[in-house]
Structure 1
């Protein structure tokens, strides 16, 4: 399952609501923006790390510097087990192979994906795509929630 939409439309908020209202055991990461970068949170443990910042330490990629310890933290979060994997957000770092996540993505999964990268992800996995808008946010939450609760399997089977 892929959730996409414009920057700032509420994709992460929608995902958090789904997680909080579900009885399923989620694992993976959620990212949140702060003034000069992003942090990542392990969904299972609640632990947070600064992933990148404009003036931080680590490997420079585009306008941010990525902390190698945070990249390792992401991989460890993805190795955990649960009912449903979540990954927020698949961006250029992932699609260009700077973070090797594909081997950890298994079904069922909910992936938040930048709008301009949905085709890249859907070429790797057979996914249902949900586009978030201001008009459909609440309704979409209910649709996704029902699908999760009613299904033992949310398809993200690897096409390769």
Structure 2
């Protein structure tokens, strides 16, 4: 089996990058890791496919594995997952902040609110609107309505 691994790469700024850096040497013992990148094309300088593990099997398409968390570092990974479906590993219960960053990047300020309503129905809209002005309402929204469906909708598995 071949795998393409998509994760933040800077261990100083991401726990998921640190997790990837620690896990990949063990994963390479059972699978060929074809690529390790952050979704925008940057490769991990600390990773090498020839570090004593299995080399990618020629002619076998790699399974993309996308590590998605609630941080803007994950936007390129999410956007890459839309181009080539694969396995999505969620590292946070709620991806509300990621949805808000996506809305900002796309200059569609209401997108994240629409995503919340699509996942939970229009009855959540009042709480979503209040959450912008109240930390208590924001915390309630995130705890009761963890947003994740938009980020796994096209996945082959979660």
Q: Same fold (TM over 0.5)?
A: no
Structure with the larger RCO, 1 or 2 (CA within 8 Å, 6+ apart): 1
Instruction: Please say which structure displays the higher CA radius of gyration.
Output: 2
The structure with the greater share of residues assigned to helix is 2
TM-score of the two chains, using structure 1 as the length reference? 0.31
Structure 1 or 2: more strand by fraction: 1
